[in-house]
Amino acid sequence: MSAKHTPEPWTLLGRVNNCSISNHSVIRDQGGTPIGYIAYSDDASRAIACVNACAGLADPAEAIREARGALFALLAVRENGDVPSWTAQWDDAEAALAKLQPKGAKR
């Protein structure tokens, strides 16, 4: 990841209620330093889960787009019942899903 992103993993510190920040969830970086405040704890948990799931991916948005496209193509072939033609779509889906694995991760 580039220097413009806070490194993972992110965690939820809890909620804070003081003069400047009222009842917000605190997101912290791997060192425990607060890096953001989100009003709703469910939103904070979702943001943390997304960031941590994309850890190690060079371009998470592109990898997810490619995987979705490959999986939808595979589903379309299945719905058409054309089993012998699954090979190319299966290979595309497998390659796209492999890109979603962080570098060095084992399947």
Structural domain boundaries, residue 21: 11-53
Q: What are the per-10-residue average pLDDT scores of the chain (107 residues)? A: 76 76 84 91 92 89 90 80 74 83 63
Q: What's the total number of domains in the chain?
A: 2
The pLDDT value given to residue 24 = 86
Whether 48 and 78 map to the same domain: the answer is no
In angstroms, the CA 11 to CA 31 distance is: 10
Whether 49 and 65 map to the same domain: the answer is no
Whether 15 and 49 map to the same domain: the answer is yes
Q: Indicate whether this model's pTM tops 0.75.
A: no
In angstroms, the CA 27 to CA 19 distance is: 18
Cα dihedral sign for 47, 52, 54, 58? Answer: positive
User: In the β-sheet with 24-28, what is the strand arrangement from edge to edge?
Assistant: 11-16, 24-28, 34-38
The pLDDT value given to residue 104 = 61
